[in-house]
A and B are shown apart, each in its own frame.
Chain A
Amino acid sequence: MTLLLGSWTIGLILALLALGVFISFRIFSFADLTADGSLTLGAAVAAALIARGYNPWLATSLAVVAGSLAGGLSGLLQTRFQINGLLSGILVATALYSVNLHVMGRSNVPLLDARTVNSDLQGVVQKVSGKVESVQLLGSSVRVSDLVNLGAILLLVCLTAWLLHLFFKTSLGTAMRATGDNPRMIRALGVDVGRMITLGLMMSNGLVALSGAMLAQYQGFADVQMGIGMVVLGLASVILGQALVGRGGIGLSICGAIMGSLLFRLMIALALRAGLDPNDLKLITAVFVLLALVLPRAFQLRVKPAPAGRL
């Protein structure tokens, strides 16, 4: 049960990452590699501030701001200076590695006894419920702190998803979706495509940084390496989510990304329990994304040969 709660909590924290990747990958149809750097940036900013005694809520908010600035930079490189989207992401992520080291001052910042968003919430719950350490749930004993962590992140993810859904229904959000769908059309309707992409990447990396900040506070440390492979992990969740809900409306797709993240985390937890070498995790994630990208195309080729179309 604890394993399940733990994997769900991490799954939900990484669902924020998946929502960020969803914006770049599903709305704009390219993989924004900035996320590898901005996840660590979010963790680094939050951890560094919390370790110095800042209010954890303020630290988390500043982490989001830092992430969106990184995304904005990536967007400017891409739209203003016409640098390929993959390359601008790599450039910013690489630069962020050094920035993150500077922010943290060393490669790892522990948050063991620090006041975090999680510890704040646990304090509130304890005040209300008295000094209950654990409760019985479905026949097994569960620590209240684990439940609080899960409930808090669940609330945060639901709120974020709802706001994101609402945003994509506004005039601005609809224009952003159309920007990824058909840039030529939306330009002819008077929308500055470059600005739309930059704004989208700011939102995307803000969410990714939020994910990083929550992850650091949940696991009790920030590490300069923690962002490696996160884009691929986010892609895996988004693709898995797509497979779960199909190509529906925007709201369904957002739910799909969250469900994908949860399911993927659960699969990993089960695989690890069955004896999978943790060192192989990134390899397996990458292979999973590769298969998810290749298989549908392979099937299509078999059904009908690619038309000898013009280019």
Chain B
Amino acid sequence: MATLEVRGLYKTFFPGTPDEVRALRGLDFSIEPGSFVVVIGTNGSGKSTTLNAVAGTFLADAGSITLAGHNITRWPEHRRARFIGRVFQDPLAGTSPTLSIAENFALASQRGQPRRLGLAVTRRRIAEFREHVRPLGMRLEDRLDNPIGSLSGGQRQALTLLMATFRKPELLLLDEHTAALDPRSAEQVIRLTDEIVRSQQLTTMMVTHSMAHAASLGDRLVMVHQGRLILDVTGAEKRRLRPHDLLEKFEELRRSDQLDETAAQLIRASYV
């Protein structure tokens, strides 16, 4: 059974206003357990909206989402967190700056669980968190008491990734999580991502703008355009993909969009 099943998903933002955006137009796909799916698409294609629809940032207008055997279509965002780990594009978005590293981990270790009156950070858990951040090689294991806001964006994003996967999620959502980092940090976080996803065999969706990452990571690649999937590549075909193949796809899209535009103009000119 698939981990995630999205069926006929529609979403229009600001309907009936000049700002109306038909962001999702019949999105349809499913993801098998353990699959690492890379999501690409042009700006405004709906790739981030796809992730947000699954995470529950908004409720869809039509269609259904099934995750880990539960129909979560009408679930609020915080309830879905039981199954979903997330890393945002903004490296400051995934951590609580005035709380210490240990406290942030304590919050993450209870993702989707009821919060009770037990101590959040105990000595035993500190030891656990310490072992968890040691492999990063950032010397954060000795600074667990420091507020997380004192760390760099790259360090915070690496910690957010560790936090999102501390309790093994049914689905990991990565929304351009390296786009706002400097190149060195971005590479570090990407390597960490690959390591964690492989070793824990996490079912993952990763949106990226980097064609290099899109080609080298994951075992499946989908392309979103105008709120639908227009390309879905897996297996050997995915392994053969190179960055320039992907750029070609984008170029193709651009050309066909232009064609549509000129055709529309033609019609407008002759009929309106």
Interface residues of A (CB under 8 A from B): 167, 169-175, 177-178, 181-182, 184-193, 247
Contact = CB atoms under 8 A, between A and B. Distances in A.
Interface in B87-115: 88, 92-99, 103-104, 106-108, 110-113, 115
Given A181-B96, A188-B81, A170 B86 contact: no
Contacts of A185: 93-96
A170 B93 contact: no
Interface in B50-106: 55, 76-79, 81-82, 84, 86, 88, 92-99, 103-104, 106
A190 B81 contact: yes
8 contacts: A171-B107, A171-B120, A178-B99, A178-B107, A184-B88, A188-B77, A189-B110, A191-B115
A141 B113 CA distance: 58
Given A189-B81, A247-B98, 7 more contacts: A171-B110, A174-B107, A174-B121, A182-B96, A187-B81, A188-B77, A189-B108
B118 interface: yes
Q: Which of B79, B84, B110: most chain A CB closer than 10 A? A: B110
A186 B93 CA distance: 10
B117 interface: yes
Given A184-B88, A189-B111, A170 B117 contact: yes
A188 B98 CA distance: 18
B236 interface: no
Contacts of A193: 78
B81 A181 contact: no
A250 to B, nearest CB: 9
Contact of A174 (B94, B120, B163): B120
Contact of B115 (A169, A171, A184): A171
A199 B104 CA distance: 21
A171 B81 CA distance: 17
A182 B88 CA distance: 13
Given A177-B98, A184-B88, A171 B106 contact: yes
Given A181-B99, A188-B94, A175 B107 contact: yes
Q: Give the dominant DSSP class at A's interface.
A: helix
Interface of B: 55, 76-79, 81-82, 84, 86, 88, 92-99, 103-104, 106-108, 110-113, 115-121, 163
A181 B116 CA distance: 19
B120 A190 contact: no
Contacts of A172: 115-117
A171 B96 contact: no
Given A184-B93, A187-B81, A189-B110, A169 B99 contact: no
Contact of B113 (A169, A182, A190): A190
Contacts of B96: 177-178, 181-182, 185-186
Q: Which of B95, B104, B115: most chain A CB closer than 10 A? A: B115
Contact of A169 (B78, B92, B120): B120
A185 B163 CA distance: 11
A54 B147 CA distance: 48
Given A174-B106, A174-B107, A187 B116 contact: no
A178 B104 CA distance: 8
Contacts of B94: 185, 188
Contacts of B92: 182
Contact of B97 (A167, A174, A181, A188): A181
Contacts of A192: 76, 78
A234 B139 CA distance: 41
A173 B97 CA distance: 16
Q: Which of B76, B96, B111, B120: most chain A CB closer than 10 A? A: B96
B99 A177 contact: yes
A234 to B, nearest CB: 21
A187 B77 contact: yes
Nearest to B93: A184
Given A187-B77, A187-B78, A193-B78, A170 B116 contact: yes
A185 B55 CA distance: 12
Nearest to A191: B78
A181 B104 CA distance: 11
Contact of A190 (B98, B103, B111, B117): B111
Contacts of B77: 187-188
A188 B99 contact: no
A188 B93 CA distance: 10
A170 B120 contact: yes
B118 A170 contact: yes
A167 to B, nearest CB: 8
A245 to B, nearest CB: 14
Contacts of A177: 96, 98-99, 103
A193 B77 CA distance: 10
A188 B115 contact: no
Contacts of B86: 188
A177 B94 CA distance: 15
A193 B115 CA distance: 12
A187 B108 CA distance: 11
Given A189-B108, A193-B78, A170 B119 contact: yes
Q: Which of A172, A181, A186, A188: most chain B CB closer than 10 A? A: A188
A200 to B, nearest CB: 13
Given A177-B99, A182-B95, A188-B86, A169 B119 contact: yes
